[in-house]
Amino acid sequence: MSRFATIAELARALRGRKVSAVELATETCDLLETLAPRYHALATLTRERALTEARAADRALARKAANPLTGIPYGAKDLLAARGAPTTWGAPPYRDQVIDMDATAIAKLKRAGAVLAAKLAMVELAGGGGYRYPSASLQGPGLNPWDRGRWSGGSSSGSASAVGAGLVPFALGSETSGSIGTPSAYCGVTGLRPTYGLVSRHGAMALSWTLDKIGPMARTAEDCAIVLEAIAGPDADDRTASGKRFRPLAARAAASAAKRARVGYAEEDVADHASTEGKAALAKGVAELRNIVPHFARATLPAMPFGPMVQTVYASEGASIFAELIEGPRFEELVDARQKAGLRASLEIKARDYLRAMRLRTTLIEAYAAIFTNVDVILTMGRAATATRVTQPLDLPPTAGGAVAQPTKRPGNTGMIAAGNLAGLPAIFFPCGFATDGLPVGLQLVGPPFSEALLVAIVAAYQGETGHHLKRPRD
């Protein structure tokens, strides 16, 4: 089978007996064992489990009792517990940690017939203290399949690298403030951040109780929808789970919804803030989407300190979660000095600052609700620049070597990742071309709560008319 086959293509091959689930699992594990170390993407290979699940999938296929994910191999970010494998959270103090259970998302994928082939690398503790270098990981810096001198993005670094390099057809990532969006944009894959509470977080490392979300990263929007349908829904073990399920729109309804959708956009996002290398490709991507979804209107977020707000929330909550580690003897084992300093400092955040950030979140949610009375979705860049160099400190401007336009009085929607996470909104990130440095760039669409079906429909229509998501890196 092609390394870059979609879930739908693999499912057809499995049902048509062109390949068995065991053969596919073996091929995937071999690829991960051989190639994933090139990208520092592998935390643990779960070959024995994969073959056991693949044999069960072959039995289901023989009975013609297959689901869309039956026999499909995947990887999971190493903050999700998986029975029989270490769950290291990307951090040296937890290198030997074994949590003897399956996180709910992994358990649901098992019930859907999917085959867990690997736990995938991540930034230590999902970057909760803030980190200065991409090397802040037990597995080393995530390397980009398009250029291994560039970062794959954090904190779901291994998930993006593995999907982007064609090692797995999909992977689970997580996002607190950008950890699905950034690696998806950098590695040229499609990532879906669900509405807060749509996917259970039981069995996942907590960084921020009020921000964390688990979602799929895959080749296409349709693939993301297949995975989200399997993992969304109620869970008695997660009191923050909304209980809502997800189903994609049928083909005809999806095409109609995409064509009718009203898109909010601020032209200064690309014109004033995109990097020199990426500006033309991003502008072309916007123009392509406008041809498919013609109803555009201006929409901008209110001026608010989104970055400090989200940092205050996840730092405060993360300090409570990791207080025992921060004050304990193994704290110095963490890789990144800035990460350690940030975690220590987070213990000192004042309650009034946290509460002010939470009050501002309410104002932000109200502002989004007002925007969504006039538009159905908001469009902006996935990231303003292409992937940073692996050696570049992350507190420098986010450029891969060229200049980023100086900030103007028109911030537009450049704070969308932080703002969208604060409001708990769903977003889909998708590739739209290549910058002049040869690296992928992408766009993002954000919608109101539980609008994932519309987001998927719009991007599926875009991907049906363009070929950016079909481009493949060389090994």
CA distance 127 to 179: 9
Mapped onto helix, strand or coil, the DSSP state of residue 315 is: helix
- The DSSP 8-state label assigned to residue 194 in this structure reads P
Handedness of CA 37, 42, 48, 51 (dihedral sign): negative
Could you give the C-alpha distances from 21 to 66, 162, 216, in angstroms and in order?
11, 19, 21
Active site residue 155: yes
DSSP letter (8 states) at residue 274: S
Q: Identify whether 242 is a catalytic site residue.
A: no
Considering only CA atoms, which of 64, 60, 65, 53 is closest in space to residue 25? 53
Give backbone dihedrals phi and psi of 442, rounded to 5 degrees, phi first: -150, 170
Catalytic residue among 20, 135, 155, 157: 155
* Catalytic-labelled residue, pool 179, 184, 242, 346: 179
**Beta strand pairing call for 115-120 and 147-151:** unpaired
From the candidates 20, 77, 159, 208, give the one annotated as an active-site residue. 77
> ∠353-355-356 over CA atoms, to 5°?
65
Residues 6+ apart with CB under 8 A from 425: 195, 196, 368, 446, 447, 448, 449
Active-site annotation holds for 77 = yes
Show Cβ contacts of residue 111 under 8 Å, excluding neighbours closer than 6 positions: 230
DSSP string, 353-388: HHHHHHHHHHHHHHHHHHHTTT-SEEEEES-SS-PP
Give me the active site residues, please.
77, 155, 179
